[in-house]
Chain A
Amino acid sequence: MTALQACLLISAFLFAIGFAGAVTRRHAILVLIGIELMLNAANLNLIAFWRFGPHPEALTGFIFVLFSMAMAGAEAAVGLALIIAIYRHKKTSNLDEVKELKG
C-alpha cells in the first residue's frame, strides 16, 4: 500500500462516515456537520493527489483546495442561516418534520 493509497483510504473512510451521519441523523445541524466532513474528505483527496501526482509544482490542486475551503465556509454560513430561519419558522430543527415538498 503506497502512501497515496493510504491517504485515499482515509479520505474514503472519512467520506463514508460523513455520509452516514448526513443520512442517518435527525438534526439538521448534524447533517451540516456531516456535509462538512464530506467536504473535508474531498479536500484531503485533492491534496493527496496533488502531492503524489505528476506536477506538484503547478500548485493546481493546492489552489483548488483553497478555493474549496472558501466555498465550504460560504456554504456553511448560508446553510446555518437557513437552519436558523427554519427553526424560527417551524420551531423545530427536526428534518423529519420539514416535508412541505412532499408529493
Chain B
Amino acid sequence: MIWIIKNLWLIPALPLFAAGIIAVNKQPARKLAATLAIGSLALGFLLSLCAFFATLGHHGDGVFREVFSFPWIQFGGQWMDIGWVLDPLTAIMLVMVTFVGMLIFIFSVGYMAHDDNFMRFFCFLALFAAGMLGVVIANNLFLFFVSWEIVGLTSYLLIGFWYHKPSAAAAAKKAFITTRIGDLGLLLGMVWLYAETGTLNFYDGGKGCLESGALATMLTHATIGGMAVSTAIGLLIFLGAVGKSGQVPLHVWLPDAMEGPTPVSALIHAATMVAAGVFLVARVYPLMSIGGIIGAHGVPVTTSLTVITWVGAITAIFAASIAVAQNDIKRILAYSTVSQLGYMMMGLGVGGVAVGMFHLITHAFFKALLFLGSGSVIHGCHEEQDVRKMGGLKKYMPVTFAVYAIGMLALAGFPLFFSGFWSKDEILHSAHNWPVSHIPFLLGCTGALFTAFYMTRQVALVFFGSYRGNEEITTHDHSAHGHSHSSDSHNHDPHESPAVMTVPLMVLAGFAILLGFVGTPAWPWFGGYLTGEEFKFDFSRLTEPGTLGLMLASAAIVFTGLGLGWCLYGKRQRKTVAEKDVLETAQPFIYKLLENKYYVDEIYEATVIRFNAFAAWLCDFADQWIFGGAVLLVKYITIGLAWLYRLTDEYFVNLGFDTGCEALREGGGGLSKLHTGRVQTYLRVIGVALVALIIFLIWGRKA
C-alpha cells in the first residue's frame, strides 16, 4: 500500500484547500462552504481508512512504521526534510479525527444555520481540521510545530468567533496566551532536541531523534541538576502538552473557551485539539520512557513519566471537584474534559501509550456526543445555558435525552456496556500496579466517583423534573454564562432539534457503546495494535484476580456516584430557579470554593497578570526614559553642536572675513586719498619722485 503512504499528505491538504476556497468566496455560498468542508473531511476519512487498513495485520513482528520524507528547503549547506509517518498511532488518530470531525461538521450545518457568519465558521473549521491532521501525520519537528501553531490559531479564531461579545474576545485571548506559555516549553524542548540529535525527523531509518541511537545519546548527556538530557527535553515537551491539554496549572482557558459555539467546543475542546497534547506525549513516548526501570507489565518508570502521572492525577481530581458545583451546562462538560484529560495523562504515565490512547479515543466519541447533545439542548431551549433554568426536557426532546444519557453513562463508566468503563478501567488497573505510589490510583478512584456524581446531577437537573425556563427571573444574575438572551419571561417550550443535528448524535452514541469492546482485557486488540504485540481473544483474562477485583471495585464506585447524584438531585427536584443547590445549603463554604473554581483565576490575576502589567509598565518606562532619553540626549547633543557650529560660523568665519574686508576697504579708502583729483598734488609727487630717483641713481652709481 505504498501509495497511501506517499499520499498521506492529502489528508490534511484537502481541508486546507477547502478552507482556502471558502475564504476567497465573496458572496455567502453556504451550500458550497458546507459541501466543501464536509466533503474534504469525508474524503479524508476514506483515505484514513485506507491508511488504517494498511497498518492492520502487522502484529507480531514489531510496530509497523512507514516513513516518507523528502528534502524541502536548504539552510546554508544543510537540507531540511519534511515528511510524514504512518504507524498505528497515526492511523488511529487519523480515523478518529476525520470521523468525529465529519460528524461535527454535519451537526454545525444545523446549529449555525441561523448565523450570518456561516462561511467564516466553516472556513475556520476546515483550517482547524487541516492543522490537526498535520499534527497527526507529521514526522518532522518543523511540520509538527507549524501544524501545532495552526491548531492554536484556529482555536483562538473559533473561540472568539462571536467577537463582538467582549467575554468571547477575552476568552479567546486567554486561551491563546495560556497555550502560548505551554508552547514556549514545547519550542524550547524541540530546539534542544534538534541541537542534541542534529535531525528534525522523528523517524528516519535509524537516524531520527526518536530512534534508539539518538535516544541513547541523550540519555548519557547530563544537564542541570544531574538530569539526563532526555528527561529535560521530555519535561519541556510535556509543558507544551500541559498548555494544550489543559492540565493544572494551565487549565484556566478551557472553561472560558465555552464562549465559542457548541460545535467548536465539541470538536476542539473535547475531541481533538485538547487531545493533541496527549497525542504529543504519546508521539514522543520513546523519549519519555527511556532510561528508567521497568515496572509491572513491562511499563517503564522514568522521571518524566512520573511527573506526567502526578500532573494528570492532580488535574483529574481538581477539575472533577470543580465540576460538581457549576451551573452552566457547557462548563460542567468543560471541567469534565479537563478531568478526563488528566486521566489520559495519568494513563500515559502509568500504563503506556496504549492505555492513554484508548481512553483518548473513547473519550473523543462520548465527549463529542455530550457536547453536541448539550448544543442540541441549548438550541432547543432557545440559547439558554443555565441548568437551573432547564428541567423536564425528557418529554420535549426525547432523542436528545436518549443519546445524552448514553454519553453520560459512558463518561461515568457504567460497567460493561459503555466504552468509558473499559478505558477508565485500564487506567485504574495500570495505576494500581504502578510501583512508585498508590496515590494516583486513589485520586483516580475519587475522581471517578465525582464524575459519576456530577454527570448524574447534570442529567437530573436538565432532563428530569419540570421545565423551569418559563419563570420570571427576578434577582438571579446571569454572570455565569454570557448569552444575549432577554430576561423577561418566555413562554415557548423547548423543542426537539432537526434531523441534521440528531443523526450525528445517534452515530456517536453507537460508537460510544461499541468502541469499548476493542480494548477489553479479554480481547486487547487496541493495545496489541498499537504496540505490535501478539494477542488473542481470551475470556479467562477477564477473571484474573486482580482484574476482576478492580472491575468490581470500579463498578461499585460508579454505582455509588450515580446513586448519590440521583438521591440528591433526581428524587428531590428543585422547584424554582433561584433555589439554592442542595450542596450549597449543606456545605456553603466548600460549595463556594468549588463554584469559584478554587479562585485559581483570581490568584493568577493577582500574581501573574499583575506582574505582567508591572513588567509592561517597566518596559514602557525604560523605553520612554532610557531609550527615549538616549534619543533625547542625541537630540540635545546635535542641537548643541549645531549651536556651536553656528557660533563658529558667525563669529569666526564671518567675523574674520568681515574684518578682512573691512581692512581692505579701509586700506583702499586710505589709498584712494592719494587721488585728490588735484593736478598740482600729482605734480608735487612727481617732483618728489624725481628727487628720489636722482638720489638713487647717484648713490647707486657711487656705490
Q: Are A101 and B680 in contact, with the CB atoms below 8 A?
A: no
A101 neighbours in B (Cβ, 8 Å): 675, 677
Interface mask (B663-690 → A, CB under 8 Å = 1, otherwise 0): 0000000001001111110011001000
A22 touches B680 (CB 8 A): yes
Q: Is there a chain B Cβ closer than 8 Å to A102's Cβ? A: yes
- The distance in angstroms between the C-alpha atoms of A22 and B676, with both chains bound, is 17
Are A98 and B680 touching (Cβ within 8 A)? Answer: no
Q: Are B676 and A99 in contact (CB under 8 A)?
A: yes
**A95 within 8 A of partner (CB):** yes
| Complex interface bits, A1-36 against B, C-beta within 8 A gives 1, otherwise 0 | 000000000000000000100111000000100000
Contact: B677 with A95, CB < 8 Å? no
What residue in chain A is nearest B683 (Cβ atoms)?
Answer: A23
Whether A102 contacts B676 by the Cβ 8 Å rule is yes
| CB–CB A22/B683 < 8 A | yes
Q: Does chain B have a CB within 8 A of A54?
A: no
Chain A residue at minimal CB-CB distance from B684: A23
Contact A102 B684 (CB under 8 A): no
Question: Which of B676, B677, B680 has a CB less than 8 Å from the CB of A23?
Answer: B680
In whole Å, how far is A63's beta carbon from the nearest beta carbon of chain B? 26
Q: Are B680 and A102 in contact (CB under 8 A)?
A: no
List of B residues within 8 angstroms of A103 by Cβ: 672, 675, 677
> How close is B694's CB to chain A, nearest CB, in angstroms?
11
Given A31-B680, A95-B680, CB of A23 within 8 Å of CB of B687: yes
B343: min CB distance to chain A, Å: 116
Flag if A96 contacts B687 (CB, 8 Å).
no
Q: For residue A95, which residues in chain B have a CB less than 8 angstroms away from its CB?
A: 678-680
Q: Check: A100 CB closer than 8 A to any chain B CB.
A: yes
A95 to B676 Cα, complex, angstroms: 12
Q: Which of B672, B675, B679, B684 contacts A31 (CB 8 A)?
A: B679
Mark each residue of chain A from 77 to 103: 1 if its CB lies under 8 Å from any CB of chain B, else 0: 000000000000000000110111111
Closest to A99 in B: B677
- In the complex, what's the smallest C-beta–C-beta distance from A14 to chain B, in angstroms? 15
Interface residues of B in 337-365 (CB under 8 A from A): none
- Chain B residue at minimum C-beta to C-beta distance from A20: B687
Range of interface residues on B (Cβ < 8 Å): 10 to 19
Chain A residues within an 8 Å CB radius of B679? 31, 95, 98
Cβ distance B377 to chain A, nearest Cβ, rounded Å = 115
- Chain B residues positioned under 8 Å from A22 (CB to CB): 680, 683
Smallest distance from the beta carbon of B529 to chain A beta carbons, Å?
Answer: 121
| A96 near B683: Cβ-Cβ < 8 Å | no
Residues of A within 8 A of B672 (CB): 103
**Alpha-carbon distance between A23 and B683 when the two chains are bound, in angstroms:** 6
From B675, B678, B684, give the contact of A96 (CB < 8 A). B678
Name the residue of chain B whose CB is nearest to the CB of A22. Answer: B683
Question: A99 to B679, alpha carbons, bound, how many Å?
Answer: 8
B314-337: CB near A (< 8 Å → 1, else 0) gives 000000000000000000000000
A19/B687 in contact, CB under 8 A: yes
- Distance of A44 from chain B, by nearest CB (Å): 18
Cα(A31)–Cα(B343), bound, Å: 138
A64 to chain B, nearest CB (A): 20
CA distance A103 to B675 in the complex (A): 5
**A39 vs B680: C-alpha distance in the bound complex, in angstroms?**
17
Complex Cα spacing A96 to B678, Å: 7
Contact partners of B677 in chain A: CB under 8 A: 98-103
Give Cα A96 to B684, complex, Å.
14
User: Using an 8 Å CB-CB cutoff, how does the interface string of B195-236 with A read, 1 for contact, 0 for none?
Assistant: 000000000000000000000000000000000000000000
Cβ of A79 to closest chain B Cβ, rounded Å: 11
Nearest-neighbour CB distance to chain B for A85, whole angstroms, equals 15
Q: How far is the CB of A100 from chain B (nearest CB, A)?
A: 6
In the complex, per-residue mask of B512-540: 1 if CB is within 8 Å of any chain A CB, else 0? 00000000000000000000000000000
What is the bound-complex CA distance between A32 and B680, given in angstroms? 11
Please, which residue of chain A has its CB at the minimum distance from the CB of B679?
A95
A24 to B678, CA, bound (A): 12
A48 to B461, CA, bound (A): 160
CB distance from B582 to the nearest CB of A (A): 123
A52 to chain B, nearest CB (A): 21
The answer for the CA separation of A99 and B684 in the assembled complex, in Å, is 16
Closest A residue to B673 by CB, please name it: A103
Q: Give CA–CA (A103, B672) in the complex, Å.
A: 5
Residues of A within 8 A of B683 (CB): 19, 22-23
Please indicate the chain B residues that have their CB under 8 angstroms from the CB of A19 in the complex: 683, 687
User: Which partner residue on chain B sits nearest A96 by CB separation?
Assistant: B678
CB distance from A97 to the nearest CB of B (A): 9
Chain B positions within 8 Å of A, measured between CB atoms, are 672, 675-680, 683-684, 687
A and B contact pairs by CB, cutoff 8 A, 30 listed: A19-B683, A19-B687, A22-B680, A22-B683, A23-B680, A23-B684, A23-B687, A24-B680, A31-B679, A31-B680, A95-B678, A95-B679, A95-B680, A96-B678, A98-B677, A98-B678, A98-B679, A99-B676, A99-B677, A99-B678, A100-B677, A101-B675, A101-B677, A102-B675, A102-B676, A102-B677, A102-B678, A103-B672, A103-B675, A103-B677
Lowest 8 A-B CB distances belong to which pairs? A99-B677, A102-B677, A101-B677, A23-B683, A23-B680, A23-B684, A103-B672, A99-B678
